[in-house]
A and B are shown apart, each in its own frame.
Chain A
Amino acid sequence: MKPVRLALTALMLLGLSACADQGWNGKSIEGLMPELEFELTAETGETVTESVFAGRPVAMYFGFTHCPDICPTTLARLVAAVRRLPEPLQEELQLAFVSVDPGRDGPQQLADYTDAFSERMLGLTGTQRQLKALTRRYRTTYGYEDERADGSYNVSHSSAIFVFDAAGEPQLMLLDSLGVAEIAADLEKLLAERAENADNA
């Protein structure tokens, strides 16, 4: 086969596999995981549950503030994607950063960190029991590596963004390989569908 034809075939196959997932760039998790439910401490210091999002769709990321590389990169992409959405849709989406490192991420630390990305990003953390309950619910894990001599340590965590609809039903997992345009396309599709459903209701 000629290289050009080979490339075209590969492109077609890629297109097909994307279509198989209902046109999402991310991974659809609709119906595969339970609805959003948690009890955590917000960056305000208050104990909150999923009702803190007041029935808005949520994009949630698990990380820690002492993560200089992948956490800011992913959060910055998410925020850049949201900025590409039509204005009314931007307002609708709630962003959430759940720190799985409560030892270092107190409310003030979380507030400073999330404010650097977006005023619509809420920082959350909790006890190990609370964090385990939430991460297990979405089949993800986190763990702590050995402390260095200076007391610092690394934390392993999920690299995906979990997107929930207004009812707290899980919808999408945005994998770390997605770029800003791909994330924006998924968020717009998800939020536009919600607007349509609201109109029909």
Chain B
Amino acid sequence: MKILSGVVLVIALLAGALWWVADMQPAEPIEIDNPRVRLVPGGAPMAGYFTLTNHTDSPVRLVSAASEAFDHVMIHRTVVSADGNARMAHQDDGVLVGAGETVEFKPKGLHLMLMRAQRELEVGEAVEIVLGFEGLEPAERTVVFTVVPVTSS
């Protein structure tokens, strides 16, 4: 009985400590989940996808993206018109993420357009992409993207 209550006490103390540590950690102002680059063979551009959540209480705007692995990176959105024609629209004003909101860069929607890979990439490799924001300090975040197969979503 004594041992059991001792164990319970230790668990309670540990849980309390964990909770305290979690609470002490500064909340990340923005969160980027599942960053991935979909590998396209033959030197054609590739798409970068991720989920972006703004945990601050004011809007942030993604305005730029750059990577040493690519000659040029653009922010695009695929638009399918009523007649079924697809085109890509350059996001001249970047992408606004409201306070507490999440924006998804995903197939057939928003994507990073990664032009001219500077070296041959392989599935499973990590690629750093620097995202530039307005309304965020510091303005730049380096995000590690994973290279995924062309057939993945």
Contacts and interface: CB of A to CB of B under 8 A. Distances in A.
A116 B40 contact: yes
A112 B85 CA distance: 25
A66 B115 CA distance: 9
B108 to A, nearest CB: 5
Interface size class, chain B: 20 to 34
Looking at B44, B78, B107, which has the most chain A CB atoms within 10 Å of its CB?
B44
Nearest to A155: B87
B150 interface: yes
Nearest to A80: B151
A156 B151 contact: no
Contacts, number: 91
Given A69-B76, A76-B150, A140 B84 contact: yes
Contact of A152 (B42, B76, B115, B151): B115
Contact of A69 (B42, B71, B111, B151): B111
Contacts of B46: 68
Given A76-B150, A150-B72, A176 B44 contact: no
A69 B84 contact: no
B85 A157 contact: yes
A115 B40 CA distance: 11
Contacts of A66: 44-45
A114 B89 CA distance: 25
Nearest to B107: A73
A159 B44 contact: no
A109 B42 contact: yes
Nearest to B87: A156
B139 interface: no
A137 to B, nearest CB: 16
B86 A72 contact: no
Interface string B31-47: 00000001011111111
A176 to B, nearest CB: 6
B108 A113 contact: no
A141 interface: yes
B114 interface: yes
B87 A68 contact: no
Interface of B: 38, 40-47, 71-72, 76, 78, 80, 84-88, 107-109, 111, 113-115, 150-153
28 contacts: A65-B42, A66-B44, A68-B38, A68-B46, A68-B47, A69-B78, A69-B107, A69-B111, A69-B113, A72-B40, A72-B150, A73-B107, A73-B153, A80-B151, A108-B42, A112-B41, A116-B150, A117-B151, A140-B84, A150-B71, A154-B88, A156-B86, A156-B87, A157-B85, A158-B86, A159-B84, A159-B85, A176-B108
